[in-house]
Amino acid sequence: MELLKFLFYFILIAACAAQCPDSDANLLKWSDHAGTWSGSPPAENDNLTITQPILLDEQPPTLYSIVITATGKLVWDPNTEVHLKVHWVQVDGELHIGSEDCPFLSNTHITFLGNVEENNLGAGGDKALFVTAGGTLEIHGKPKLSWTKFAQTAPKFNTETDVIASQIEDTKKRGLAVYSINPTTGELVDSAFFNFLINGRKYPDLIISFVNFLDGIPDVNIVGIAIHKDLPRRGDITGALEAIEILAGQTDGTNPLRDTEDAMYSLLTTKKHILIIGSTSMSKEVYLPLKSEGKTIAEVSMVFAEFIVVVTSTFDINRRDRSKAEVLVAVDLKYRPVLNFIEDVSTWETGDTVVIASTDYDWRQAEERRNFPLIDCRLCG
């Protein structure tokens, strides 16, 4: 009974604590064009004045400005991903993106357009979000430790001695890069690039050479496959996908490349699935649909006794020529040094950018690392 009582209070407290701004019953939905906007929702380049409580639950058009009056309120819907583009926003009323008890866990973007002082708005300026006296601005994202200190000096990564093998495709062609790696030494013993950007009539030959190349890789070797730029399908590629499925020990028809073209893909596997001491898994793949902005990075890595193999397929929507496939074999502990911090960094995630700077504030000693493979966060918590 005591336990039930405790649970009851616990649930009650939890329910009260989670005061999410989007749960305000007075909110009118932006997406309810007929109701909220009486049939004329905000249009491109509008100077919008918000006088009521509104839930931003759809992608708005590019706006010129937004003024939220004292009676107005604009609340981001946590279930809708929006990218607000506007020259300036003035908050006399309220603007909420999450709250302290109910952080906003999805992504959102606000881009301020135009030039500073283009409208001579005065004190608040333009190309800005400004809150006037009495206004409320609440922006609370996912909790994340913003900075901390090393508990001890970090080891230096030395590309000259610590990299066993590395290769980046250097071609305008598009297709699949395949790498064959010696499981004992980490050497890149063979690699090949298969250009799928060719006439559809040549596909049967292309598929045969792809299948033959995979067949010819010595058993027990580590095999990496990555999309280079794109995987055009001008003919039937089923044979190639079947060969990948056999190689990776996948069930027929389950390779994700069967589904769609707009994705990045990388795979690491050991041929014939012979157990190699120290490897955590026989086959790993990463399949990522293309993001609408920036880079999509499908990176897969596997640790063997002495080294780590990383296969990466990157697509950069803004700089397509920089899209690439690559392989890196490096001495594991130096590629992934164990870093000791004085605080709990478990809120950091793979894909985060970590900037490491020395305390003498010399920028030449600053290093930026992205995609920290926080694989086994041994020191977390």
**Residues that bind ligand NAG in the complex, under the rule CB under 6 A:** 45-47, 64, 119
Q: For ligand NAG, which is the closer residue by CB, 85 or 334? A: 85
Q: How far is the CB of 360 from ligand NAG (least distance, A)?
A: 47
Q: Nearer Cβ to ligand NAG, position 63 or 181?
A: 63
Q: Virtual CA dihedral for 147, 148, 153, 158, nearest 10 degrees?
A: -30
Q: Are 62 and 46 in contact (CB under 8 A)?
A: no
- Nearest approach in angstroms of CB 112 to ligand NAG is 14
Angle at which helix 238-247 crosses helix 203-216, to 10 degrees, equals: 10
Nearer to ligand NAG, 46 or 190 (CB): 46
Which residue, 117 or 236, has its beta carbon nearer to ligand NAG?
117
- The β-bridge relationship of strands 283-289 and 263-270 is antiparallel
- Cα 46 to Cα 30, 61, 162, 187, 277, distances in angstroms: 15, 9, 56, 60, 63
CB of 139 to ligand NAG, least distance (A): 25
User: What's the min distance (Å) between Cβ of 88 and ligand NAG?
Assistant: 10
Strands 83-86, 324-331: pairing is unpaired
Judging by beta carbons within 10 Å of its beta carbon (0-12, 13-18, 19+), is residue 253 exposed, middle or buried? exposed
Classify residue 323 by its DSSP letter: -
Work out the end-to-end distance of the chain between its first and last CA atoms, rounded to an integer number of angstroms: 34
Nearer to ligand NAG, 122 or 134 (CB): 122
Exposure class string for 35-44: b at 16+ Cβ within 10 A, else e: ebbeeebbee
Minimum CB separation of residue 47 from ligand NAG in Å reads 4
Least distance from C-beta 57 to ligand NAG, angstroms?
23
Q: Give the nearest distance from C-beta 113 to ligand NAG in angstroms.
A: 11
In whole angstroms, the minimum distance from the beta carbon of 119 to ligand NAG comes to 6
- Three-state secondary structure call for residue 3: helix
Structure tokens at 294: 């920036």
**Given the complex with ligand NAG, which of 106 and 119 has the nearer CB atom?**
119
Q: Which amino acid is at 222?
A: I
Closest to ligand NAG by CB, 113 or 331: 113
Taking the least distance from each CB to ligand NAG, the nearer of 72 and 186 is 72
Biggest CA pair distance of the chain? 75
DSSP 8-class letter at 272: G
How many other CB atoms sit within 10 Å of the CB of residue 257?
21
